[in-house]
Amino acid sequence: MDRPRWLPLESNPDVMTKFLHCLGLVPTWQCGDVYGLDPELLSIVPKPVCAVLLLFPMTEKYEAFKVEEEERIKAAGQSVSPDVYFMKQTIGNACGTIGLIHAVANNQAQLEFAPDSALKKFLGQTSKMTPEERATFLEKDESIRVTHESSAQEGQTEAPSIDEKVNLHFIAFVNVGGHLYELDGRKPFPIAHGKTTEDTVLEDAVQVCKTFMARDPEEVRFTIIALSKDSY
């Protein structure tokens, strides 16, 4: 049976912010570009930051690393908080939406939602599910699918066809219980990246993003987006 496919969400902070607001996130939080990795440019990102999203190319080097990483963690083990909300990706091209769900789901204590929020309802209904069950539930969630489809057509570039192979992928970095986690629906589990704090989650996530870039130094197709509180 063919898995469902959605139009890919553009790595455009305005599109992603509108997507979250349409799903009922109160507009005190917004997505914004991270323009550079040096301390001066990171300092201009509005604070606080509650999650960081990375868009990167899925190259042969990355895919080889992904297999090696999974084998290493399965052999050595890792500590992951039971409070981490993680879901698998079974919908083609839905990584942008899943990245945003990961960002919001792991920061519900800080964020505010409208009473009729479709996203808040989804998180409540899936809170006790396994990562695989959450993926299946998303396949049937019409509110999120319809919002994703309309958002995917709103970017500055023309939306690709639904069958076009897209080799760019979104993942999220979040702070749960003072630890930084990489959440990627294509991986079997969250990846723990050591300690972090509410004040340093942007800088700590960027250090991990740098390792993605270092694996593919010829590549330029990297975008970093922060979910942060509107400072205006």
Please name the amino acid found at residue 81: S
Q: Give me 111's structure tokens.
A: 């964020």
Told to judge if 209 belongs to the known catalytic residues of this protein, a careful annotator would answer no
Q: Give me 9's structure tokens.
A: 């969400």
Catalytic one among 95, 148, 179, 209?
A: 95
3-state SS of 165-232 is CCCEEEEEEEEECCEEEEECCCCCCCEEEEECCCCCHHHHHHHHHHHHHHHCCCCCCCEEEEEEECCC
Angle (CA) 49 87 80, round 5°: 70
Distance CA 156, CA 177 (A): 37
Catalytic one among 102, 148, 169, 179?
A: 169
List active site positions: 95, 169
